Amino acid sequence: MRALLSAAKGGKTRIVIGVQTVGGDTAKSVRYTKLAAAQGADGIISLPPENATEAQIVAYYRAIGAATPLPLMMQVVGNASVDLVIELSKKVPTLKAVKDEAGDPLGRAPQILKGTEGKLADFSGNGGHTMLAEMGLGFSGSCPYVGLADLYQSSFDLWHAGDRKAAFDMFGRISAFNSIPGSNEYVLVARGVFSEDTVLRKAAGAHASPILEPQQKQFIRDAMERFLKPYAKA
């Protein structure tokens, strides 16, 4: 958290800090929330506690929302219903946005926007793979995988500037690169952010990351250099 906030200090990037804890410890999440606010975060985001009832989820977000006046974003996962999102928007004044990864976000978006009278910003997750369709439905933004975040941002900006063709072309470049096996796992090494010997942490419930052969790594590097580097911002 401190590294992120330090890197962004003095810039235009707004940093939203995640405050969920292993085991869904509400008291610890509240402490993290207050610490993030004290360190200069621009907003807070949190997953709900695992296996919690809807009443427990409401209580959790009310506790976090009361800990700081910073804007709060809910990461919606699992079986969380649209009705729960709407209820939280009424009970937690600081709740300003959702990152919806529950069910079919594209189908849920019109219901969320209508049910909250457009007061709740609707963001998608799941790597940003359906970002163009989302923008057509009125999504406020997307939470793509970080490796090509600058290119996703360019596509997003072009769309909202009215240049839909350029936005489509940019998104096509991203999709083509993402079709390369291992590209998402290796892209930040290819871009020089991490060293060659970096080992990815295995996310809970996720498949093990593929072991890439040298020729696969070189193919990813070449694709990054030839087809994406001219559009990259870093």
Longest dimension (CA), the chain: 54
Extended beta strands in the chain, E state = 16-18, 43-46, 72-76, 95-100, 121-127, 141-144
Question: pLDDT per residue over 4-45, tens digit each?
Answer: 999 998 888 899 999 999 888 999 999 999 999 999 999 999
Candidates 89, 51, 86, 93; CA nearest to 70 is: 93
Query: Helix, strand or coil for residue 124?
Result: strand
Contacts 24+ apart (CB under 8 A), 136-139: 137/106, 137/109, 137/110, 138/109, 138/110, 138/113, 139/109
Question: pLDDT per residue over 76-117, tens digit each?
Answer: 998 899 999 999 999 999 999 999 999 899 999 999 999 999
Domains within the chain, CATH numbers bracketed: 1-144 (3.20.20.70), 163-234 (no CATH)
Q: Which residue has the tokens 């707004």?
A: 14
Question: pLDDT per residue over 164-222, tens digit each?
Answer: 999 999 999 999 999 999 999 999 999 999 999 888 776 655 556 668 899 999 999 99
d(CA 130, CA 95): 24
For 137, phi then psi, to 5°, come to -95, -5
